[in-house]
Amino acid sequence: MKFINVSILTSVLAMLAVAKGGADDAAIASPDSAVVKLTADTFGSFIKENPLVLAEFFAPWCGHCKSLGPKFSAAADKLVEKDIKLAQIDCTQERDLCADYGIRGYPTLKVFRGTTNSSDYLGQREEESIISYMTKQSLPSVSAIEDSADLLDTFAELSEPVILQVLPPDFKPAANETFYSLADELRNEFSFVSTSNPEYVEKYTSKKSTPAYVVFRPGEKTEDASLFKGDTIDKATLESFIGVETKPLFGEISGATFQSYMESKLPLAYFFWDDESQKEAVSDAIIKLAKKFRGEINFVGLEAKKYGMHAKNLNMKEEFPLFVIHDLEGNFKYGISQDKALNYADIPKFVEEFKAGKALPIVKSEPIPEVQDEAVYHLVGYEHDKVVQQKKDVLVEYYAPWCGHCKRLAPTYEELAALYKNDSDANEKVVIAKIDHTANDVSGIEITGYPTIFLYPADGSKPISYEGQRSLEALANFIQEKGSTGVDALKIRDAKAAEPEAEESTETNNGAHDEL
């Protein structure tokens, strides 16, 4: 989902996480420490000989590398006894090796498990964090626990969601294999536990051969744990269940969790608060809604003092508290009106309206132009869907005012538009439009650069992205071939040129080809 301005929130969140100090420390580990210095020659064999390695790709001059240096060495010394190795690769000397691993910033930490495939280190850059993260990596991804007291302990105080597999006596091994392989992939995010404890079998399973899956969330009561109700246990189904149920009912959004909410693609309902008491005041009501709409809408709180500017991305004013739902699929934003202060009692009503399809999105848009006096139709957010859905072939250029390629395309585009506009038949069948994408919300298409050009065929079929040359001929041919009205603008042009009174030939901007 590339519409969403992930960068603003994540960069704000990243700024807060920047580590301080350490400028006097050395980035390169001392030869006395357990840190192993690797080169292109030694790297491959070292990685294969050691079951678990944390490798730091660094540059000696880099400040964050200097501050990490002593912590990395200290962690290395303590992890040696667990057969976990810490290694360093100096990217100023091993350029090719670092390039192979796509290293773009220093330091970059990667985890290797006996093969040259790696996964990113996701822990903090502190001694204790490195030790606990790597120790966890060394443990099996699933803990098999049978004892009732141990199980209780496991669910007593969670720091991360736990996914429990409950195996009845005649369980099918394939389900268990699926669970283990998912656990291997998701071990950095969640804990995985498997049990055949009879009390749990009694409580959670309903069939002798079907395992049960239960998600326990930190900070919530065990009675609120979510039970997987399906019969088919395949990887995709289980993974999507875990994706939904590991999210708190009413969580705080942060840099670490933002991406997973985006990936879930479910509408995301935000409550922005600038005083903790506001959050407490709505908490019960929102949890109730979250239970009702589990798997349909995610609910999060956002602290306005830190991330208030994100309100703008959601077409809301930075006035708090506020409540807004972002429909990620369509990129529509539905907010409770900010004309007056937010009344908490309106939230449940608003969510119900949204679910019923009765809420109106807040659309960012320029005003609808009073006259359309140019050949190119000046499209705006309010009108976008109506215009592209009419029974004409509609070509739309999505541009930004600052974009150089868009400016270069403009004369060709105007000429193209005039071709259709000047012919009464073509004018009935084809519309050439442009829209300033920085000032107008649009939905249903993916825009990753400017200009982006889409054709909306008259027959209502899916919009088609234009990837060809930005010349009048290529664009006109595209409309004729991919549109559904079959208008051949070049033929119209040539016919006009052949008429004796036509003096000027319409020379075209041939061969101009700009990359996005």
**C-beta of 427: minimal distance to ligand NAG in Å?**
11
- Asked if 143 touches ligand NAG (CB under 6 A), the answer is no
**C-beta of 434: minimal distance to ligand NAG in Å?**
17
Q: Which is nearer to ligand NAG, 46 or 180 (CB)?
A: 180
* Tokens (6 digits) for 316: 């809301």
For 78-119, what is the HEC assignment? HHHHHCCEEEEEECCCCHHHHHHCCCCCCCEEEEECCCCCEE
* Tokens (6 digits) for 372: 């359309």
Find the binding residues for ligand NAG in span 154-173 (CB under 6 A).
167
**C-beta of 51: minimal distance to ligand NAG in Å?**
13
Q: Which is nearer to ligand NAG, 93 or 372 (CB)?
A: 372
Among residues 403, 445, 492, 512, the one annotated as catalytic is 403
Size of the chain, expressed as the number of residues it contains: 516
- Asked if 209 touches ligand NAG (CB under 6 A), the answer is no
Residue in 44, 20, 51 with CA at minimum distance from that of residue 101: 44
Which of 46, 180, 344, 382: binder of ligand NAG (CB under 6 A)? Answer: 180
Q: Environment class of residue 169 by beta-carbon count within 10 Å: exposed (0-12), middle (13-18) or buried (19+)?
A: exposed
**C-beta of 183: minimal distance to ligand NAG in Å?**
9
What is the rounded CA–CA span in Å between residue 509 and residue 139?
A: 64
Q: Write the CA distances from 406 to 5, 337, 364, 384, 456, integer angstroms.
A: 22, 36, 21, 19, 20
Residue 119: strand pairing partners: 111
Q: Which is nearer to ligand NAG, 190 or 332 (CB)?
A: 190
Which of 338, 427, 469, 506: binder of ligand NAG (CB under 6 A)? Answer: 506
For residue 135, the one-letter residue type is T
* Tokens (6 digits) for 476: 């006109």
**C-beta of 153: minimal distance to ligand NAG in Å?**
21
Q: Write the CA distances from 418 to 334, 465, 492, 496, integer angstroms.
A: 38, 22, 12, 13
- Asked if 176 touches ligand NAG (CB under 6 A), the answer is yes
DSSP assignment of 149-187? HHHHHHHHS-SS-EEEEE--TT--HHHHHHHHHHHHHHT
**C-beta of 499: minimal distance to ligand NAG in Å?**
11
Stretch that binds ligand NAG, among 59-67, 320-328, 362-370, 413-421 (CB under 6 A): 413-421
Q: Which is nearer to ligand NAG, 176 or 338 (CB)?
A: 176
Q: Which is nearer to ligand NAG, 143 or 260 (CB)?
A: 143
Stretch that binds ligand NAG, among 77-85, 174-182, 275-283, 473-481 (CB under 6 A): 174-182
Stretch that binds ligand NAG, among 71-79, 229-237, 332-340, 411-419 (CB under 6 A): 411-419
Q: Does residue 516 contact residue 448 with C-beta atoms inside 8 Å?
A: yes
Cβ-count burial 172-195 (b if 16+ within 10 Å, e if not): eeebbebbeebbeebbbebbbbbb
Assess whether 91 carries a catalytic annotation. Answer: no
Q: Which is nearer to ligand NAG, 370 or 507 (CB)?
A: 507
Which of 28, 225, 418, 512: binder of ligand NAG (CB under 6 A)? Answer: 418
Stretch that binds ligand NAG, among 276-284, 327-335, 414-422, 481-489 (CB under 6 A): 414-422
Which of 31, 115, 498, 500: binder of ligand NAG (CB under 6 A)? Answer: 115
- Asked if 461 touches ligand NAG (CB under 6 A), the answer is no
Q: List, in order, residues 6 or more apart from 375 with CB less than 8 Å away.
A: 414, 417, 418, 420, 421, 432
For residue 201, the one-letter residue type is V
**C-beta of 333: minimal distance to ligand NAG in Å?**
37
Size of the site for ligand NAG (CB under 6 A): 11
Q: List, in order, residues 6 or more apart from 346 with CB less than 8 Å away.
A: 323, 336
What is the rounded CA–CA span in Å between residue 227 and residue 92?
A: 51
Among residues 27, 47, 53, 65, the one annotated as catalytic is 65
Assess whether 98 carries a catalytic annotation. Answer: no
23: number of Cβ within 10 Å: 8
**C-beta of 397: minimal distance to ligand NAG in Å?**
18
Q: Write the CA distances from 157 to 148, 151, 153, 190, integer angstroms.
A: 16, 11, 8, 14
**C-beta of 272: minimal distance to ligand NAG in Å?**
40
Among residues 4, 8, 62, 362, the one annotated as catalytic is 62
What is the rounded CA–CA span in Å between residue 366 and residue 441?
A: 10
Residue in 121, 97, 99 with CA at minimum distance from that of residue 46: 97
Stretch that binds ligand NAG, among 74-82, 303-311, 349-357, 417-425 (CB under 6 A): 417-425
Q: Under DSSP, is residue 40 helix (H, G, I), strand (E, B) or coil? A: helix
Among residues 289, 406, 409, 417, the one annotated as catalytic is 406
What is the rounded CA–CA span in Å between residue 395 and residue 411?
A: 16
Eight-state DSSP code of residue 362: B
- Asked if 177 touches ligand NAG (CB under 6 A), the answer is yes
Which of 42, 117, 259, 461: binder of ligand NAG (CB under 6 A)? Answer: 117
Q: Does residue 352 contact residue 360 with C-beta atoms inside 8 Å?
A: no
Q: Which is nearer to ligand NAG, 117 or 337 (CB)?
A: 117
Q: Does residue 188 contact residue 122 with C-beta atoms inside 8 Å?
A: yes
Find the binding residues for ligand NAG in span 260-319 (CB under 6 A).
none
Find the binding residues for ligand NAG in span 419-458 (CB under 6 A).
419, 422
Active site residues per annotation = 62, 65, 403, 406
**Interface ranges with ligand NAG (CB under 6 A):** 115, 117, 167, 176-177, 180, 415, 418-419, 422, 506
